Amino acid sequence: MTKKLQNILLGGCLAFGLGLTSQASAEELRIGYISPVTGIFAQVGKDMVDGFQMYLDEHGGKLGGMDVKFIVEDDQGKPDAGVTKARKLILQDKVHMIIGGLLASTGYALAPVSTSEKTLYISSVSSADDLTQRQLSKYPYFVRTSWTSSLPHQPLGQWACDNGFKKVIVIAADYAFGYETAGGFQKVFEDCGGKVVQKIWPPLGTKDFGPYIPTFKADADAIFTTMVGPMALQFPKQLRGAGNKLPILGSGVSYDEFVLPFMGDEVIGDVSALHYSAAIDTPKNQAFVKAYRAKFGKVPGYYSENNYTTAMWLDEAIKKAGGKYPGPEEFIKVMASIKLDAPRGPVELDENRNPIENVYIKKVEKKKMFGYDKDELWNSVIKTYPKVSQFWTYGKDKFLAQPVYDRDFPPCKYCE
Amino acid sequence: MSQQQIKILIVVAVFGALALIVPHSGSFVVLLATRAMAFAILAMSVDLLLGFTGLSSMGQAAYFGVGAYLTAVLATKVHFGLGWDFWLVVVMGILLGAALAALFGLFAIRAGGVYFLMITLALGQCVWGLAYRWNSLTGGDNGINMSGRPNFGLDLTNEVTFFYLVFAFFAVSMALMYVLVRSPFGQSLAGIRERELRMQILGYNTWLHKYIVFIIAGGFGGLAGVLWAHTNGHVSPETVVLTTSVDSLLMVVLGGAGTLVGATIGTAIVFGLREYLSTLVPWWQYVLGGVYVLTILYLPMGLMGILARTGERLKSESKDERPKKLATKPS
């Protein structure tokens, strides 16, 4: 209480002493950040915060010249709790914007809060497709700086065609994220002549794939997987253990830098797609990886990179807006006008407020990278699809005319 | 004035104070109080079973969930329940919760003790599974977003108005449950809790008694769900998940089973720690864990046990005094 009083007095004195000009520079940008700091996603939640905080630390706690008050709130990985905390940040802390949210379901839950409270919400990880697609008009104060679930997997479908794969089995975790990743892959893969011959949906958190692996069709020539958390570790181990040698084309999250250090040599050669890899060989990314690793003792994954980039984006936008926060509508316009050079490569917003970004087809290799002296697993980039939009090559109107990717869309035409 | 009347007066006074103070204490506090009160209705319904009948239900989230999903589905798919028809939705929520409990009760009431707990747990998980997998209706993992709160002359978008509405529902629920447990029916429930066999020998149909209270608890669960859906504006399988049931059970145990007020206090404490303290310090989970452990170790009757114990001590002291006085009186 006394501290608050002090602040007020101090602020008052400053305003008197320095006149009006000082007010603009002394203005503070209040950012509310929502991430699961406790619960089963606590480690991911920490990576998210670390990415954002690292950018702040590198820039003296300022974005675009404004002092930043960065308030982290814990949503425990529950959409309900996320909504409560977002309201707390808006009502009590009077934040200018809400950032974060890990799960797609949290993203869906937070977007309406931004509408009802007329506060900017930046989704820096959460990837639920429809928020920047068919439901966009409901959420005028919503921007995404990360990705849609299907965005990197549509190019992967093309890549599979180009590399001679004909028949693919899809096995993906049984929830919206699994459907959207697998759907994006299947749609593009079948449009360029491939066939998805089998679709299997193991429940989220499956640890024993014994019942699924023997049912794989014998005539397939690759497997597409979306595995999250412990599933990502178990599946390749059990698949190879069962003697199955089919190549894997995976979702990026099955092999991202968050799980990679815990994987064994059985994953070498597995291919996956994402909008980031720690092994992107650019000076910008190398500097980012080295700084992050020096600070936190591990290689950054997309959870950290996405938030680092979000902070960078805010920095540029505040600068461009003249060192102040101009309100959500204006700020979104400024953000949309910025072309960013991030660790993950060039990023900009499309007209639906979702990033257009590079997609990297990655292969797990054991090698030395960036001058580190140990052999480690890295996601080597084997092909880059530059400036990929969430609508891939279909165009916005044609893409939005189809339903959102789901368990039953696209239908499995070639499964008997 | 009898002791019971004094207790009621205290509760009413506290409620009155809350209704006056909360709206002036910052919008986040209003929001928290609203959430806690909606959830307290669920906790009290658990108390009906656990505290007054001796049935530990692990599936109360199921009725909560159907109430919430009913509200959300009606509001988003057919735009029903956003005006005067909100009251219809309330009735439907209560009926749906009760109907589901009537169905589940047929399976669950046959068993007692741990078996009852396991069966209700399994049935609760069935509802969760439905919410999670029935994508076309429930939106699956992503849940359902509602576009706004009802407006029938009273605009419930206003947090304070909505707080008073939930508060009214909460107070009425508590009063109804209080009347219920004080009624002869409630007394026979207590009899079942203490010794079911004796009640059977006395000629009571204990199965029917338990079945009826199970249905009533389900109805209150449904009501809590309807309010919960509007409090958050969002319903997801997280609403129906097992931890919701466990939470409600823990809140009752924490506050003191068999008191109704205890369930409310338990809810207030858990919400206070989990949603308010967590905004202040990162180690709130240790506090919550510590509170649970200490309660189990030292207050097996919950926080209300402290009151009961001091009450007894006072009584016994006055009893001690009386004989003395009598003795000192010259005969």
In a domain, B19, yes or no: no
Nearest CB among A38, A73, A138 relative to B285 is that of A38
B151 beta partners: B155
- With CB atoms and an 8 Å threshold, state whether B239 touches A113: no
CA-to-CA separations, A74 to A82, B131, B134, B277, in angstroms, rounded: 8, 25, 29, 11
Helix (H, G, I), strand (E, B) or coil at B106: helix
Q: Are B248 and B266 in contact (CB under 8 A)?
A: no
- With CB atoms and an 8 Å threshold, state whether B141 touches A407: no
- The pLDDT of residue B94 is above 70: yes
Chain B residues with a Cβ under 8 Å from any Cβ in chain A: 26-28, 31-32, 35, 132-133, 135, 140-143, 145-148, 157, 232-234, 236, 238-239, 275, 278-279, 282, 285
In a domain, B79, yes or no: yes
Strand A195-200 relative to strand A142-144: parallel, antiparallel, unpaired? unpaired
- With CB atoms and an 8 Å threshold, state whether B236 touches A79: yes
Nearest-5° Cα angle at A346, A343 to A347: 100
Measured distance CA(A76)–CA(A287) in Å, rounded:
32
A265 half-sphere exposure, CB direction, 13 A CA radius: 3
Measured distance CA(A116)–CA(A139) in Å, rounded:
9
What pLDDT does residue A15 have? 40
* E-state strands within B142-300: 144-145, 151-152, 154-155, 234-235
- With CB atoms and an 8 Å threshold, state whether B239 touches A80: yes
When mean pLDDT is compared across A73-82, A195-204, A391-400, the lowest value belongs to A73-82
For the segment A292-316, what is each residue's pLDDT rounded down to a tens digit? 999 999 999 999 999 999 999 999 9
When mean pLDDT is compared across A146-155, B181-190, B215-224, B280-289, the lowest value belongs to B280-289
- The pLDDT of residue A64 is above 70: yes
What pLDDT does residue A8 have? 46
Measured distance CA(B267)–CA(B278) in Å, rounded:
16
Mean pLDDT value across residues A259-269: 91
What pLDDT does residue A20 have? 39
Which helix (H) or strand (E) segment is A358 a member of?
Answer: strand A355-367
In a domain, B284, yes or no: no
Measured distance CA(B51)–CA(B43) in Å, rounded:
11
pLDDT bin (cut points 50, 70, 90) of residue B18 is: confident
b (16+ CB within 10 A) / e for A91-108: bbbebbbbbbbbbbbbbb
Amino acid identity for residue A65 in this structure: G
A118 at interface of B, judged by CB pairs closer than 8 A: no
- The pLDDT of residue A80 is above 90: no
Q: Which of A72, A88, A179, A180 to mutate to test the interface with B (most CBs of B within 10 A)?
A: A88
Is the ipTM of this structure higher than 0.90? no
The owner of tokens 């005006």 is B83
A357 beta partners: A347, A388
What pLDDT does residue B319 have? 61
A80 at interface of B, judged by CB pairs closer than 8 A: yes
A117 at interface of B, judged by CB pairs closer than 8 A: no
- The pLDDT of residue B307 is above 90: no
What pLDDT does residue B318 have? 66
- Cβ-Cβ contacts under 8 Å, A105 against chain B: 141-143, 236, 238
CA-to-CA separations, A83 to A66, A350, B132, in angstroms, rounded: 27, 27, 20
Q: Are A338 and A143 in contact (CB under 8 A)?
A: no
A200 beta partners: A171
A92 at interface of B, judged by CB pairs closer than 8 A: yes
Model's pTM, two decimal places?
0.84
Q: Are A132 and A143 in contact (CB under 8 A)?
A: no
- The pLDDT of residue B32 is above 60: yes
Average predicted confidence (pLDDT) for chain B: 87
How far does the CA of residue B112 sit from the closest CA of chain A (Å)?
A: 32
Q: Which of A84, A116, A137, A407 to mutate to test the interface with B (most CBs of B within 10 A)?
A: A84
- With CB atoms and an 8 Å threshold, state whether A81 touches B239: no
Residues of chain B with pLDDT > 90, as a percent, come to 42
For the segment A109-122, what is each residue's pLDDT rounded down to a tens digit? 899 899 988 999 99
- The pLDDT of residue A246 is above 60: yes
- With CB atoms and an 8 Å threshold, state whether A91 touches B143: no
For chain A, give the longest Cα–Cα distance: 80
Q: Are A359 and A276 in contact (CB under 8 A)?
A: no
Pairs of residues, one from chain A and one from chain B, whose beta carbons lie less than 8 Å apart: 79
Provide the token pair at B297: 């170790």
Compute CA A300 distance to the chain's CA centroid, rounded to the nearest angstrom: 13
How far does the CA of residue B217 sit from the closest CA of chain A (Å)?
A: 24
Q: Are A188 and A258 in contact (CB under 8 A)?
A: no
pLDDT bin (cut points 50, 70, 90) of residue A14 is: very low
For the segment A15-55, what is each residue's pLDDT rounded down to a tens digit? 433 333 334 445 799 999 999 988 888 888 999 999 999 99
Nearest to B52 by CA among B206, B210, B181: B181
* E-state strands within A89-173: 97-100, 120-123, 142-144, 167-172
Strand A195-200 relative to strand A167-172: parallel, antiparallel, unpaired? parallel
Q: Are A175 and B141 in contact (CB under 8 A)?
A: yes
- Structural domains for chain A: 27-148+300-356 (3.40.50.2300), 153-281+358-401 (3.40.50.2300)
Q: What's the count of helices (H) and strands (E) in chain B, helices before strands?
A: 15, 4
A116 exposure class (CB count in 10 Å sphere: 0-12, 13-18, 19+): middle
Mean pLDDT value across residues A126-142: 90
Nearest to A345 by CA among A384, A380, A311, A315: A384
Which helix (H) or strand (E) segment is A74 a member of?
Answer: strand A66-74
For the segment A184-221, what is each residue's pLDDT rounded down to a tens digit? 999 999 999 999 999 999 988 888 999 999 999 989 99
Measured distance CA(B253)–CA(B57) in Å, rounded:
12
- Cβ-Cβ contacts under 8 Å, B32 against chain A: 84
A87 at interface of B, judged by CB pairs closer than 8 A: yes
- Provide the number of structural domains found in chain B: 1
Compute CA A394 distance to the chain's CA centroid, rounded to the nearest angstrom: 22
Measured distance CA(B274)–CA(B272) in Å, rounded:
6
Compute CA A208 distance to the chain's CA centroid, rounded to the nearest angstrom: 27
Print the domain residue range for B112. Answer: 31-247
In a domain, B280, yes or no: no
Q: Are B30 and B159 in contact (CB under 8 A)?
A: yes
Nearest CB among A79, A128, A174 relative to B234 is that of A79
- With CB atoms and an 8 Å threshold, state whether A80 touches B28: no
Nearest CB among A112, A175, A407 relative to B234 is that of A112
- Cβ-Cβ contacts under 8 Å, B132 against chain A: 175
In a domain, B151, yes or no: yes
Q: What is the DSSP string of A246-308?
A: --EEEEGGGSSTTTGGG--GGGTT-EEEES--TT--SHHHHHHHHHHHHHHSS---HHHHHHH
In a domain, B286, yes or no: no
Amino acid identity for residue B125 in this structure: Q
Strand A66-74 relative to strand A120-123: parallel, antiparallel, unpaired? unpaired
Residues 6+ apart with CB under 8 A from B307: none
Measured distance CA(B234)–CA(A103) in Å, rounded:
15
- With CB atoms and an 8 Å threshold, state whether B28 touches A92: yes
- With CB atoms and an 8 Å threshold, state whether A88 touches B279: yes
What pLDDT does residue B325 have? 44
Mean pLDDT value across residues B206-213: 93
Amino acid identity for residue B15 in this structure: F
Measured distance CA(A318)–CA(B208) in Å, rounded:
67
What pLDDT does residue B320 have? 58
pLDDT bin (cut points 50, 70, 90) of residue B1 is: low
* E-state strands within B87-162: 144-145, 151-152, 154-155
Provide the token pair at A178: 């699994």
What pLDDT does residue A76 have? 85
